[in-house]
Structure 1
Amino acid sequence: MKITVIGGGPVGLTYCALLQQGGHSVRLWSQTHPDGLNQRFDGTFSGDHVIPGAGSLEDAVKDADVVLLARCAQGMQDVLDRLAPILDGQTVIFSAELSFGSIYLAHALMRSQARAGIVSWSTTVATAQRRDGVVRVGTVRDVIDMAVSGGMDAQDGLRLCQELFGDRFRLKSSPALIGMSNLNPPIHLANSLANLTRIERAEDWENYQCITPVVGRMIEALDTERLALAGRFGFEVRDVFDHYMMTFPGIRRGSVSEMAQQVYERAPGTMGPRSLETRYITEDVPFGLIPLCELGRRSGVPMPLHEAAIGTLSTYLGRDFRAQNGMLETVVAELQDLLGAATS
């Protein structure tokens, strides 16, 4: 199968390697690596992979069966606006459904009268970081929730994902549910706030080790608000405890902090961010959390901890995170239409 991966970060590069290992024809469209690259990997798997570049976005899409979006959320709107008019029956996979980008793409496809199948994943297939030019693959997840839209048959979408990355996907009813299932934004928000000076001073710190009992308690409380929002629309989404159990098979169930310490002890070396420009903040807050808060306000579900944590981080950094999400109004309006009277 011919797949174009859009996004040259560590996760996007890991997808290219995994797909090549599966015998697929892969190209990368990335402004950072326009001509492709030879990339070394270590961790869960190791070796060198030659990843060809795709040239222009038009070329990247034209000959592809599947377009796999692993781009940072800040650049998502521009890519989707450019992508929608040139799609012609391909399947677009969102890895992961952080920004409700699939909702935005469906709206853009309707405007441009183009067609595409859309698949939303609740999280990434793999975790990965780049250090000193090497991509370290932390884990390949066993279970990933997914949903389809754009008129795509659900079973066709499931079979496609299985062909690409194996039998690890579970079908869910709605991309809105998938968007509410992403646990990374609240986890990253709590850990970033508690370790903000480490990030600012570019210190080396272990991500999972620093999910201490106080950080874990905040993550659990944020999760309670997220679950209440999902429940408002009749969605059953996995909680943070199941998230850890599914992401890291073999750990013992406990508090969030206890499970995070097990992850650290088993495989140290997953480092926390060393810059205030980390995706933990610049992506997860405006694109992952603010849409949930706005949906909560419009549907009468209070999310005071989310609001307070975002407000605190905004004050620390002197930023208006809401203004940084140009998709927000379209996404929330489309979600209201999709979810119907529950938001009125």
Structure 2
Amino acid sequence: MSVIDATHFAVLGAGHGGQALAGYLSLKGFKVNLYNRSSDRLNSLRLMGGVQVEGEIQGFAPLNVVTSNIEEAIKDAEIIMVVVPATGQRFMAENLVPFLKDGQIIVLNPGRTGGALEFRQIFKERNVTVEVIISEAQTFLFASRISGPAQVKIFRIKNSIPVAAIPAYKTVEVVTALRKALPQFVPEDNVLKTSFNNIGAIFHPTLTILNAARIENTHGEFDYYIDGITPSVALILEAVDSERVKVAEALGIRAITAREWLYSAYDAYGRNLYEAIQNNPGYRGIRAPYTIFTRYITEDVPMSLVPISSFGKMLQIPTPTIDCMIQLANILHNKDYFVEGRTVEKLGLAGLSVKEIREMVVVEANSSS
């Protein structure tokens, strides 16, 4: 059963992005159920009956259901929008399993690196038999922040969000279902492409680690990109980026470089990554995190850098700079992100050939596809 022009959404996660997306969809005239694992964050939303949206789109957005019960949240929803840090996606997958219904579409916003593959593997392990589609966005639609109780501000809405389903031939069904609500979502080749075009993997962890002293001394009181990226720091970012692109190439994926992404996303210009960043007005005024215990490390290292490194090891593509950044994060946080993060073993891909992986993401048909 295919969904055409979906009208009923479940948004899982009531953080900055979740509240923004729920409010946006409601203001566009769609029925929205909002779920959060912890009920504390929902109190003001329940009291108000919705969320006040400011910024790029404005108005009070009524919500159909506000709940910490995931079964209630996804009941009758055609589209399930997962809007949580990638570290919380496994929890969502495991808790969705008993309540999924035929025809529902799951969209990870975003999947980081391997999000849809992780969902697929969890559903396979749990013997999911209902016909649902798993998909992931390459990045999140908004730049947004909670600005008060039951209040969220959308600073910017991106023009284009690549999305891919697993298997890839189902991507058209996802885009068709979303076309009225979210016309910004456009089809990407497959989930390997969305996963390896995860540019946050390049900027966030490395830049935070290399600016650790400055972050601790100033509590983030500096321009994260403009001040935090010097010519020398940019060289290290380019090394990380080059390794990501080479691993993607080994999988048959032509990944966009960070510099190319800056050109297309922000109309930036420059002969190298440093110049492109400094010539990007969109980065001016963005402050650094106030602590090194930030999602830029806790999410982007295990859910972005670790899977790239893991794919590299399996495909015999060296990733020395990426591995160095992961190890530095381990020291800073007293963790072992190599163990905690997404790996080819956890994604059910260990031992598969490139041909087998590509066939799986493009054409595999199984009960949880």
User: Shorter-chain-normalised TM-score: which range?
Assistant: 0.7 to 0.9
Inter-partner Cα distance in structure 2 for 1:317 and 1:176: 29
Inter-partner Cα distance in structure 2 for 1:122 and 1:338: 24
Unaligned stretches of 5+ residues in structure 2: 1-6, 359-369
Which amino acid in the other structure matches residue 20 of structure 1? Answer: S
Identity rate, percent:
19
Superposition deviation, residue 14 in structure 1? 1.8
Inter-partner Cα distance in structure 2 for 1:199 and 1:129: 21
Of 122-131 and 79-88, the range deviating more from structure 2: 122-131
Q: Are the structure 2 counterparts of residues 130 and 55 from structure 1 closer, same or farther at C-alpha, using a change threshold of 3 Å?
A: closer
Inter-partner Cα distance in structure 1 for 2:276 and 2:53: 26
Which amino acid in the other structure matches residue 73 of structure 2? Answer: A
Superposition deviation, residue 321 in structure 1? 1.4
Any idea what the Cα deviations from partners look like across 1:22-50, whole Å, max 9, x if unmatched?
A: 22111211134335625455444455544
Aligned: 1:334 with 2:349: yes
Query: What's 1:287 paired with?
Result: 303
Q: Are the structure 2 counterparts of residues 336 and 42 from structure 1 closer, same or farther at C-alpha, using a change threshold of 3 Å?
A: farther
Give the aligned length: 339
- Of 57, 61, 64 in structure 1, the residue corresponding to residue 70 of structure 2 is 57
- Of 111, 115, 119 in structure 2, the residue corresponding to residue 101 of structure 1 is 115
Inter-partner Cα distance in structure 2 for 1:42 and 1:338: 48
Query: What's 2:319 paired with?
Result: 303
Superposition deviation, residue 87 in structure 1? 1.1
- Of 220, 226, 229 in structure 1, the residue corresponding to residue 247 of structure 2 is 229
Which amino acid in the other structure matches residue 224 of structure 1? Answer: S
Query: What's 1:117 paired with?
Result: 133
Aligned 8 A contact 1:138 1:270 in 2: no
Q: Are the structure 2 counterparts of residues 130 and 260 from structure 1 closer, same or farther at C-alpha, using a change threshold of 3 Å?
A: farther
Taking only aligned residues, the RMSD between alpha carbons, in angstroms, comes to 2.7
Superposition deviation, residue 18 in structure 1? 2.1
Inter-partner Cα distance in structure 2 for 1:176 and 1:189: 21
Matching of residues 141-220 of structure 1 within 5 Å: 141-149=158-166, 153-172=170-189, 174-201=190-217, 202-209=219-226, 210-220=228-238
Aligned 8 A contact 1:161 1:169 in 2: no
Aligned: 1:71 with 2:87: no
Unaligned stretches of 5+ residues in structure 1: none
Aligned 8 A contact 1:19 1:26 in 2: yes
Q: Are the structure 2 counterparts of residues 20 and 257 from structure 1 closer, same or farther at C-alpha, using a change threshold of 3 Å?
A: farther
Of 110-119 and 87-96, the range deviating more from structure 2: 110-119
Q: Are the structure 2 counterparts of residues 166 and 338 from structure 1 closer, same or farther at C-alpha, using a change threshold of 3 Å?
A: farther
Aligned 8 A contact 1:118 1:152 in 2: no
Superposition deviation, residue 330 in structure 1? 4.5
1:80 aligned counterpart, secondary structure? helix
Q: TM-score, normalised by structure 2?
A: 0.82
Aligned: 1:19 with 2:38: no
Aligned: 1:82 with 2:95: yes
Query: What's 2:365 paired with?
Result: none
Inter-partner Cα distance in structure 1 for 2:327 and 2:119: 29
Superposition deviation, residue 130 in structure 1? 4.2
Q: Are the structure 2 counterparts of residues 332 and 253 from structure 1 closer, same or farther at C-alpha, using a change threshold of 3 Å?
A: same
Inter-partner Cα distance in structure 1 for 2:145 and 2:236: 25
Of 2-11 and 138-147, the range deviating more from structure 2: 138-147
Aligned 8 A contact 1:142 1:246 in 2: no
Any idea what the Cα deviations from partners look like across 1:68-117, whole Å, max 9, x if unmatched?
A: 01111222212211112321121000111214221122223232323311
